[in-house]
Chains A and B, each alone.
Chain A
């Protein structure tokens, strides 16, 4: 179907026909582009609109632009105009953009230097905001310590349930698997040297001191940092936080502090739980693989492994918990009123908190080694 036909001759004429609607418009546009070189460059041209069956606003815009473009070099006369056509023509002439328009569909990609600068400034800005949050948390924490009655016991309990109790199954599974992996890998090596019994030192130190705090923290970061960000973010989107403020409920006391306290309380308990499961996995593997009976294992554990490894692991707990929960809440407060914002900040919060946990663990490692602990 031809939408535009060009008749050359003494009276060069463009004949427009068919349904000039949006669905045909790209075909019409291409047809005109193909005809463009054949059109006269000076003199006059006629446009016959008699055979246009239907025309809509988009096609009319195209017609107006086409006419405007040809009028730059030609004398254009339009013939065969029907009343509906003329009416729509007048309407669209009013709304047709006069100057050149820019398609803003593709946003310009900023150059690398700009992006680096922007990221750096945003990072610095985030750091300041984070310090602000830490300050407010400390103030509220101090107030809670002075007036313990202001702690919201109910919120605290709900959060303890979410952060702690509900994390038990996944932490049990992770700790079990990590215990089995460590015990198995060491069993193979130790067997070669006939040093079977040293598996107790291996499992007994690595699990409580390093692996179990780290695994627990990573699981909690994945479960709870994301949950905090999403919950607080949703509250921001729906203006719930502002509503609380106007009712005199301080969000720090009602929303943030219970989450942070709950995580700080739950984390050492979870690490303890994960120690038990991890060492149990070690006992299981030793008795099956190396013929070390559970009684032998526990006896050796008591005499060979100092209690300080176990204490160090537990001490890391509250530090990890503070990092995870404050990052989770911080990112939640940054959410803006935008459907993609919650998802973005939830991702950022999990990535940030896992990274921070590993960073803190490395710091502990360096400091404790320097202290010969």
Chain B
């Protein structure tokens, strides 16, 4: 039996009268790349924020790395947060700091390492996300969209997290950068054995990167499992989403590939 990293059970979320989640449950196992899928307004982002301990559901339970995050005190929550690496959709880099400082500031705050070792770690992480050392002195406003996402990933990885959370990592990137970033996520998972949670609705990411996924619709878990499992469901949203031209192309490519191999 695989070890579970995150267990979400019977989550219900309401803001005033608006019900976001009625009953959402899923399990993320250690070492897998897991996708949170769903249409706009399906509550992906709210769920993501629950997992990050930024918001709380009204009912239900969430266990992360065997810790009940809804009933933990501030100290426990902070200890858990230090095992998280988070990349926000827009990168959320600190605009007044250079790339180097954006990454080093976390190490400076939480460790008493020597300046040289901090610099070594920062440059290694930059290398790891495919940036060269010239980028270190640039400010976020001087970076391209793809570079911002890479720096955000480097910052998320700097504390050697157990869990990596990515909010739409490929949105706003051109197809080539998006594919490169998808490959980067796969590489990093392979190298470091992280558990990765991704919000996405990029068909390419879903087909290339995710091991398993949950599809949210109407405030409930519409489907959970591998891509094959999900595709077998006949929920309206799943049929529409995977019935789009791009998805159909991918599916036919995939089956052709399968026949050949």
Contacts and interface: CB of A to CB of B under 8 A. Distances in A.
Contacts of A104: 98, 100-101, 104, 119, 136-137
B133 interface: yes
Interface stretch (A9-17, A255-263, A326-334, A335-343): A335-343
Contacts of B160: 21-22, 56-58
Looking at A101, A337, A338, which has the most chain B CB atoms within 10 Å of its CB?
A101
Contacts of A94: 127
A95 B116 contact: no
A337 B137 CA distance: 18
A134 B13 CA distance: 54
Contact of A62 (B117, B122, B159, B191): B117
A306 B114 CA distance: 75
Contacts of B101: 104-105
Contacts of A23: 111
A96 interface: yes
Contact of A91 (B96, B100, B191): B191
B123 A97 contact: yes
A47 interface: no
B112 A101 contact: no
A351 interface: no
Looking at A25, A102, A103, A336, which has the most chain B CB atoms within 10 Å of its CB?
A103
Given A97-B123, A105-B100, A338-B95, A26 B113 contact: yes
A52 B75 CA distance: 28
Given A101-B120, A105-B100, A57 B133 contact: no
B100 A97 contact: no
A21 B127 CA distance: 20
Interface string A52-66: 000011100110010
A57 B128 CA distance: 11
A299 to B, nearest CB: 62
Contacts of B116: 101, 103
A339 to B, nearest CB: 5
Looking at A22, A56, A336, which has the most chain B CB atoms within 10 Å of its CB?
A22
Contacts of A62: 117, 120
A337 B121 contact: no
Main secondary structure on B side of the interface with A: helix
B124 A96 contact: yes
Interface residues of B, number: 35
A201 interface: no
A235 interface: no
Nearest to A338: B95
B14 interface: no
B84 to A, nearest CB: 14
A105 B101 CA distance: 5
Nearest to B97: A105
B96 A25 contact: no
Interface in B58-88: none
Given A22-B160, A91-B191, A105-B108, A29 B117 contact: yes
Interface in A86-125: 88, 91-92, 94-97, 101-105
B177 to A, nearest CB: 21
Contact of B104 (A25, A103, A339): A103
B118 interface: yes
Given A22-B111, A105-B101, A97 B95 contact: no
Contacts of B115: 103, 105
Nearest to B99: A104
Contact of A101 (B108, B123, B141, B159): B123
B118 A105 contact: yes
Contacts of A26: 111-114
B192 interface: yes
A231 B183 CA distance: 42
Nearest to B94: A339
B96 A338 contact: yes
Interface in B106-164: 108, 110-125, 127-128, 133, 136-137, 141, 157, 159-160
Contacts of A103: 104, 115-116, 118-119
A96 B104 contact: no
Contact of B95 (A57, A96, A340): A340
B231 interface: no
Contact of B120 (A21, A61, A339): A61
Contact of B124 (A21, A95, A105, A338): A95
A25 B124 contact: no
B57 to A, nearest CB: 30
Contacts of B253: none
B105 interface: yes
A338 B141 CA distance: 8
Contacts of A337: 95, 141
Interface string B179-199: 000000000000110000000
Interface of B: 95-96, 98, 100-101, 104-105, 108, 110-125, 127-128, 133, 136-137, 141, 157, 159-160, 191-192
8 contacts: A23-B111, A26-B112, A26-B114, A29-B114, A57-B157, A94-B127, A97-B120, A103-B104
Given A95-B127, A97-B127, A103-B115, 17 more contacts: A25-B113, A26-B112, A29-B113, A29-B117, A58-B117, A61-B124, A65-B117, A95-B128, A96-B120, A97-B120, A101-B120, A104-B136, A105-B100, A105-B104, A105-B115, A105-B118, A338-B141
Interface of A: 21-23, 25-26, 29, 56-58, 61-62, 65, 88, 91-92, 94-97, 101-105, 336-340
For the complex of A and B, the 3 pairs showing the least CB-CB separation, nearest first, are: A103-B115, A101-B119, A26-B112
